[in-house]
A and B are shown apart, each in its own frame.
Chain A
Amino acid sequence: MYELRGIRKVFADGTVAVEDISLIVGSGEHVAFIGPSGAGKTTLFRLLNLTLRPTAGALIFEGQDVSALSDAGLRRTRTRIGTIYQQQNLVGRLRVVHNVLAGYLGRWSAATALASLVRPRDVAGAGRALAQVGIPEKLWARTDELSGGQQQRVAIARVLVQDPDVILADEPVSAVDPSLAVSIVTLLRDLSHESRKTLLMNLHSVDLALGHFPRIVGVREGRVLFDVAPDKVGPELLAELYAGHRDEELQLEQLRDGKVSFGAACRPLPGFRK
């Protein structure tokens, strides 16, 4: 699915977000990315969904080097990659049905897109997607009237309508109620399993990653620190991953001592800024 060779990303202001990452992800794989805030995970995901262009290195998607793609080819490739963000990536003023149907925009012509705003096209399809994520009754609601967890389900429904080959979920649960985090992660996992989609998820919570993914990639300072099965991720490895990031270290300690329950660890930590 993906092959990354020595990917590096330096922003215009000189910040090095991704130092040097090489990685191969096979079709249908489920991979969780963990690491301290500022490690470059979000930038990595924006490189993977072809929003950003790597400063150096090669990014190969389905055997095709994406730097060789034309503007049109880039667009076609993007329709095969679905992204779910942390939050606030829906248009609150639009009804849920339109936010879900926006998943079709990669395939629709401009005229169809405009006509659908007046009279929604595939209402049944949008309804089915919402039923899959458990909120079929919200089809005609205004999106900004939904809770954070429900909005995240709308974002998932949109990706279902888009029907990509790979789903990238960038911290999909750090802005939702901790008690809902587990259900959203399992929902994403099960849906991509059923439809044999590749799933890459960026997680702030170590236990969610270890509990639901067969492959864990630890990212630190823009590099891959480890890339192993969850049973190989021990306390030493995690301590090394989060070394120097006090809040996360504290969270790990409390996890080890059993002071924090499963869900509570999903809450954004005090020092965590976006």
Chain B
Amino acid sequence: MARFPSARPADRFRASGSKRLFPYLFTAVFAACVVFSVREAQVDPRVFLEGDALGNVAKFVRGMFPPKLDVEFLGLMAGPAIETVQISVMGTAIAIALGIPLGLLATSSLTWRGVLHERTSRTGRWLLGVVPYAASRAVLSVFRSIPEYVWAFMFVRAVGLGPFPGVLAIGVAYGGMLGKVYSEILENVSPRPLETLHAAGASRVGVILYGLVPQALPNVIAYTLYRWECAIRASAILGFVGAGGLGQQIELSMRMFQFDEVLTLLAILFALVASVDFISGRIRGWVA
């Protein structure tokens, strides 16, 4: 039963007082931050004009044209390109496998809070609810707060060079993000159908299958596809630390000053990202 407490006059007066001051205060603080950051981050466009900076840029750009398009090179690069897609697919698959169970546990409306648990015994709510909830939240936040680049660096040490550390890095870092977002999507579904099923004697699994999943699925699919797009880009970056794919080739060509190869590789990467974007857009339109 929702109740709508009316705002008391005293509250309203105080609110409008602080509201009037807020924009000025905010602008002042923001300006101070910008000034401070410009100095500390050493933002200085003049360095472009110093010494041979512009010359280096020109050399880099001139080296890119014409891009290397001979059949032999393109054939050689087909492997890494496919490998990049494979890393992103496998990484996303692992991320989903980690994200779904952790995300479900990290959803407070499923584990301990709200009307579904009104009548669950107190110890049951703590042991099966609050503890797994807090633990999975902690795990998810560790997973996603360490950048995938750092994860890749650690996994290269652990399992050696190649695509596998890249897969693991994307799986763990993105698993943390997917789990967090899944739990947010699940907490924002309408609780009414859940309460109805629960009141009719449905088990926890029944409530999830018939109330939660159908409501959340479109958003879950859309966000997972978006993460897959990000995984393609990330798998290119991960190559820089030796985790395979196109990124490793870009890094090699850069080091050899073969900028014509770099341009070709960037074009391939662009094509990959664009096609993943296109495919996921179609699927999202279809499930909505």
Chain A residues with CB under 8 Å of chain B are 15, 17, 38, 40, 42-43, 46, 49-53, 71, 74-83, 85, 88-91, 93-94, 98, 102-103, 105-108, 110, 113-114, 117, 158-159, 162, 164, 273-274
Taken together as a complex, chains A and B put the C-alpha atoms of A90 and B193 apart, in Å, by 5
**Hey, which chain A residues are within 8 Å of B205, CB to CB?**
110, 113
Which of B209-217, B230-238, B278-286 makes up part of the contact surface?
Answer: B209-217
Please state if A52 and B118 are interface contacts (CB–CB under 8 Å).
yes
Please state if A110 and B2 are interface contacts (CB–CB under 8 Å).
no
**Hey, which chain A residues are within 8 Å of B3, CB to CB?**
15, 38
Pick the residue among A53, A88, A164 that contacts B192 (CB under 8 A): A88
A273/B202 contact (C-beta < 8 A), A52-B118, A93-B214 known:
no
**Hey, which chain B residues are within 8 Å of A91, CB to CB?**
193, 210-211, 214-215
**In the complex, what's the smallest C-beta–C-beta distance from A36 to chain B, in angstroms?**
13
A102/B119 contact (C-beta < 8 A), A42-B1, A108-B206, A110-B206 known:
no
Please state if A53 and B118 are interface contacts (CB–CB under 8 Å).
yes
Taken together as a complex, chains A and B put the C-alpha atoms of A106 and B190 apart, in Å, by 21
B187 interface residue, CB < 8 Å from A?
no
Taken together as a complex, chains A and B put the C-alpha atoms of A71 and B204 apart, in Å, by 12
Please state if B195 and A89 are interface contacts (CB–CB under 8 Å).
yes
A106/B196 contact (C-beta < 8 A), A38-B1, A98-B210 known:
no
A83/B196 contact (C-beta < 8 A), A17-B1, A51-B119, A53-B118 known:
yes
Taken together as a complex, chains A and B put the C-alpha atoms of A91 and B206 apart, in Å, by 13
**Hey, which chain B residues are within 8 Å of A52, CB to CB?**
115, 118-119
Please state if A50 and B202 are interface contacts (CB–CB under 8 Å).
no
B6 interface residue, CB < 8 Å from A?
no
Question: How many A-B contacts are there with CB distance less than 8 Å?
Answer: 106
Taken together as a complex, chains A and B put the C-alpha atoms of A42 and B115 apart, in Å, by 14
Q: What are 22 pairs between A and B in contact, CB < 8 Å?
A: A38-B3, A50-B119, A50-B199, A51-B115, A51-B195, A75-B201, A76-B201, A77-B201, A80-B201, A93-B215, A93-B218, A94-B210, A98-B210, A102-B200, A102-B210, A105-B200, A105-B201, A106-B201, A106-B202, A108-B206, A162-B200, A273-B4
**In the complex, what's the smallest C-beta–C-beta distance from B213 to chain A, in angstroms?**
9
Taken together as a complex, chains A and B put the C-alpha atoms of A15 and B197 apart, in Å, by 26
**Hey, which chain B residues are within 8 Å of A78, CB to CB?**
198-201
Taken together as a complex, chains A and B put the C-alpha atoms of A50 and B15 apart, in Å, by 41
Please state if B200 and A79 are interface contacts (CB–CB under 8 Å).
yes
**In the complex, what's the smallest C-beta–C-beta distance from B109 to chain A, in angstroms?**
14
**Hey, which chain A residues are within 8 Å of B193, CB to CB?**
88-91
**In the complex, what's the smallest C-beta–C-beta distance from A211 to chain B, in angstroms?**
27
Counting chain B CB atoms within 10 Å of each CB, which of A15, A79, A105, A106 scores highest?
Answer: A105
Taken together as a complex, chains A and B put the C-alpha atoms of A46 and B206 apart, in Å, by 20
**Hey, which chain B residues are within 8 Å of A105, CB to CB?**
197, 200-203, 206-207, 210
Given contacts A46-B199, A52-B115, A83-B196, 13 further A-B contacts (CB under 8 A): A49-B199, A51-B199, A74-B119, A79-B201, A81-B199, A88-B193, A91-B211, A93-B218, A106-B200, A106-B201, A106-B202, A273-B4, A274-B1
Q: Which 9 A-B pairs have the closest CB atoms?
A: A106-B201, A79-B201, A105-B202, A78-B201, A105-B206, A110-B205, A89-B196, A49-B199, A89-B192
B120 interface residue, CB < 8 Å from A?
yes
Please state if B1 and A43 are interface contacts (CB–CB under 8 Å).
yes
Please state if B118 and A51 are interface contacts (CB–CB under 8 Å).
yes
Taken together as a complex, chains A and B put the C-alpha atoms of A113 and B195 apart, in Å, by 17
B124 interface residue, CB < 8 Å from A?
yes
**Hey, which chain B residues are within 8 Å of A162, CB to CB?**
200
Please state if A103 and B200 are interface contacts (CB–CB under 8 Å).
yes
B145 interface residue, CB < 8 Å from A?
no
**Hey, which chain A residues are within 8 Å of B27, CB to CB?**
none
**In the complex, what's the smallest C-beta–C-beta distance from B126 to chain A, in angstroms?**
14
**In the complex, what's the smallest C-beta–C-beta distance from B226 to chain A, in angstroms?**
20
B18 interface residue, CB < 8 Å from A?
no
**Hey, which chain A residues are within 8 Å of B120, CB to CB?**
71
B42 interface residue, CB < 8 Å from A?
no
**In the complex, what's the smallest C-beta–C-beta distance from A57 to chain B, in angstroms?**
15
Residue of B nearest to A48 (CB): B199
**In the complex, what's the smallest C-beta–C-beta distance from A238 to chain B, in angstroms?**
22
Taken together as a complex, chains A and B put the C-alpha atoms of A38 and B5 apart, in Å, by 13
**In the complex, what's the smallest C-beta–C-beta distance from A159 to chain B, in angstroms?**
8
**Hey, which chain B residues are within 8 Å of A88, CB to CB?**
190, 192-193
**Hey, which chain A residues are within 8 Å of B196, CB to CB?**
83, 85, 89-90
**In the complex, what's the smallest C-beta–C-beta distance from A89 to chain B, in angstroms?**
4
B121 interface residue, CB < 8 Å from A?
yes
Residue of B nearest to A51 (CB): B199
